[in-house]
Amino acid sequence: MKMKKSRIFLVDDDKDDQQLFKEAFLESKCSAELKIYNSGLELMSAISSEHSKPDMIFLDLYMPGMDGEECLEALRKNSKFDNVPIVIYSTEFDIDRIAKLFSIGANRYLKKPDSFNSLVASIQTSVESLRRNALGGTAIINIVA
Protein backbone atom coordinates (compact mmCIF):
# COMPACT_ATOMS: atom_id res chain seq x y z
CA MET A 1 0.00 0.00 0.00
CA LYS A 2 1.41 3.37 -1.03
CA MET A 3 1.53 6.06 1.66
CA LYS A 4 0.01 9.43 0.86
CA LYS A 5 2.61 12.11 0.26
CA SER A 6 2.59 14.77 3.00
CA ARG A 7 1.47 18.25 2.04
CA ILE A 8 3.55 21.06 3.48
CA PHE A 9 2.42 24.68 3.12
CA LEU A 10 4.72 27.70 3.35
CA VAL A 11 3.07 31.08 3.90
CA ASP A 12 5.55 33.93 3.33
CA ASP A 13 5.28 37.16 1.36
CA ASP A 14 9.02 37.50 0.71
CA LYS A 15 9.91 35.99 -2.70
CA ASP A 16 13.60 35.54 -1.77
CA ASP A 17 12.64 33.69 1.43
CA GLN A 18 10.18 31.56 -0.55
CA GLN A 19 12.88 30.59 -3.05
CA LEU A 20 15.44 29.83 -0.34
CA PHE A 21 12.90 27.70 1.56
CA LYS A 22 11.92 25.85 -1.62
CA GLU A 23 15.57 25.07 -2.46
CA ALA A 24 16.27 23.94 1.12
CA PHE A 25 13.09 21.85 1.11
CA LEU A 26 14.21 20.09 -2.09
CA GLU A 27 17.69 19.59 -0.64
CA SER A 28 16.21 18.12 2.54
CA LYS A 29 14.81 15.24 0.46
CA CYS A 30 11.59 15.23 2.46
CA SER A 31 9.08 13.12 0.62
CA ALA A 32 6.40 15.77 0.70
CA GLU A 33 4.68 18.20 -1.62
CA LEU A 34 5.44 21.88 -0.95
CA LYS A 35 2.82 24.50 -1.71
CA ILE A 36 3.63 28.20 -1.29
CA TYR A 37 1.23 31.02 -0.44
CA ASN A 38 2.11 34.73 -0.54
CA SER A 39 -0.01 35.83 2.42
CA GLY A 40 -2.25 34.72 5.23
CA LEU A 41 -5.23 35.94 3.24
CA GLU A 42 -4.19 33.82 0.24
CA LEU A 43 -3.81 30.75 2.47
CA MET A 44 -7.17 31.26 4.15
CA SER A 45 -8.88 31.67 0.78
CA ALA A 46 -7.20 28.55 -0.62
CA ILE A 47 -7.94 26.29 2.33
CA SER A 48 -11.59 27.30 2.39
CA SER A 49 -11.96 25.92 -1.14
CA GLU A 50 -9.52 22.95 -0.98
CA HIS A 51 -10.83 19.54 -0.02
CA SER A 52 -7.62 18.22 1.50
CA LYS A 53 -5.82 19.92 4.32
CA PRO A 54 -2.07 20.35 4.80
CA ASP A 55 -0.03 18.07 7.03
CA MET A 56 2.08 21.00 8.29
CA ILE A 57 2.15 24.77 7.83
CA PHE A 58 5.24 27.00 8.01
CA LEU A 59 3.91 30.49 8.73
CA ASP A 60 5.84 33.77 8.52
CA LEU A 61 4.86 36.44 11.06
CA TYR A 62 5.24 39.65 9.09
CA MET A 63 2.95 39.81 6.07
CA PRO A 64 0.60 42.49 4.78
CA GLY A 65 -3.16 42.11 5.04
CA MET A 66 -3.26 39.28 7.56
CA ASP A 67 -0.08 38.73 9.51
CA GLY A 68 1.10 35.35 10.77
CA GLU A 69 -0.35 35.77 14.25
CA GLU A 70 -3.80 36.64 12.85
CA CYS A 71 -3.56 33.71 10.45
CA LEU A 72 -2.57 31.37 13.30
CA GLU A 73 -5.58 32.53 15.33
CA ALA A 74 -7.92 32.02 12.36
CA LEU A 75 -6.54 28.53 11.70
CA ARG A 76 -6.90 27.51 15.35
CA LYS A 77 -10.52 28.71 15.44
CA ASN A 78 -11.31 26.13 12.72
CA SER A 79 -11.48 22.61 14.17
CA LYS A 80 -10.51 21.20 10.74
CA PHE A 81 -6.94 22.31 11.53
CA ASP A 82 -6.76 21.14 15.17
CA ASN A 83 -4.26 18.41 14.30
CA VAL A 84 -2.25 20.36 11.72
CA PRO A 85 1.10 21.38 13.19
CA ILE A 86 1.88 25.06 12.63
CA VAL A 87 5.51 26.14 12.62
CA ILE A 88 6.07 29.87 13.01
CA TYR A 89 8.91 30.73 10.63
CA SER A 90 10.31 34.20 11.28
CA THR A 91 13.38 36.36 11.69
CA GLU A 92 12.02 37.69 14.99
CA PHE A 93 13.31 36.17 18.19
CA ASP A 94 11.31 37.64 21.08
CA ILE A 95 10.70 35.07 23.83
CA ASP A 96 7.55 36.84 25.11
CA ARG A 97 6.06 36.94 21.60
CA ILE A 98 7.01 33.30 21.04
CA ALA A 99 5.29 32.32 24.31
CA LYS A 100 2.15 34.17 23.15
CA LEU A 101 2.25 32.35 19.79
CA PHE A 102 2.48 28.99 21.57
CA SER A 103 -0.45 29.99 23.80
CA ILE A 104 -2.65 30.62 20.74
CA GLY A 105 -1.72 27.40 18.99
CA ALA A 106 1.75 27.38 17.42
CA ASN A 107 3.45 23.99 17.70
CA ARG A 108 7.01 25.02 16.90
CA TYR A 109 9.01 28.19 16.35
CA LEU A 110 11.69 28.16 13.68
CA LYS A 111 13.88 31.24 13.53
CA LYS A 112 14.89 31.82 9.92
CA PRO A 113 18.44 30.44 9.92
CA ASP A 114 21.51 32.36 8.80
CA SER A 115 22.77 29.57 6.55
CA PHE A 116 21.30 27.37 3.85
CA ASN A 117 22.56 24.17 5.54
CA SER A 118 20.90 25.20 8.82
CA LEU A 119 17.63 25.74 6.99
CA VAL A 120 17.86 22.32 5.33
CA ALA A 121 18.50 20.69 8.72
CA SER A 122 15.67 22.66 10.37
CA ILE A 123 13.18 21.62 7.69
CA GLN A 124 14.26 17.98 8.02
CA THR A 125 13.88 18.12 11.80
CA SER A 126 10.43 19.69 11.59
CA VAL A 127 9.07 17.31 8.96
CA GLU A 128 10.60 14.24 10.61
CA SER A 129 9.05 15.19 13.94
CA LEU A 130 5.68 15.48 12.19
CA ARG A 131 5.98 11.87 11.10
CA ARG A 132 7.57 10.56 14.28
CA ASN A 133 5.44 12.34 16.84
CA ALA A 134 2.29 13.13 14.88
CA LEU A 135 2.33 16.62 16.35
CA GLY A 136 -1.19 17.54 17.22
CA GLY A 137 -3.31 20.18 18.83
CA THR A 138 -1.16 20.68 21.91
CA ALA A 139 1.83 22.98 21.66
CA ILE A 140 5.27 21.47 21.78
CA ILE A 141 7.71 24.07 22.93
CA ASN A 142 10.61 23.47 20.64
CA ILE A 143 12.47 26.51 19.39
CA VAL A 144 14.84 25.77 16.55
CA ALA A 145 17.29 28.66 16.24
Domain that holds residue 106: 6-144
Separation CA 65–CA 133 (nearest Å): 33
What pLDDT, on a 0 to 100 scale, did the predictor assign at position 70? 96
**pTM across the whole model:** 0.86
E strand intervals along 1-145:
6-11, 32-37, 56-59, 86-90, 108-111, 143-144
Burial class of 115 by CB neighbour count within 10 A (0 to 12, 13 to 18, 19+): exposed
Number of domains in the chain: 1
Separation CA 119–CA 121 (nearest Å): 5
In a domain, 1, yes or no: no
What pLDDT, on a 0 to 100 scale, did the predictor assign at position 29? 83
Digit-by-digit pLDDT tens for the chain (145 residues) are: 445 678 899 999 999 999 999 999 999 888 789 999 999 999 999 988 777 789 899 999 999 999 999 999 999 999 889 889 999 999 988 999 999 999 999 988 988 888 899 999 888 888 877 666 654 444 444 455 5
In a domain, 67, yes or no: yes
Residue (of 18, 32, 17, 3) closest to 127 by Cα position:
32
Question: What SS3 class is residue 90?
Answer: strand
- The CATH number that applies at residue 129 is 3.40.50.2300
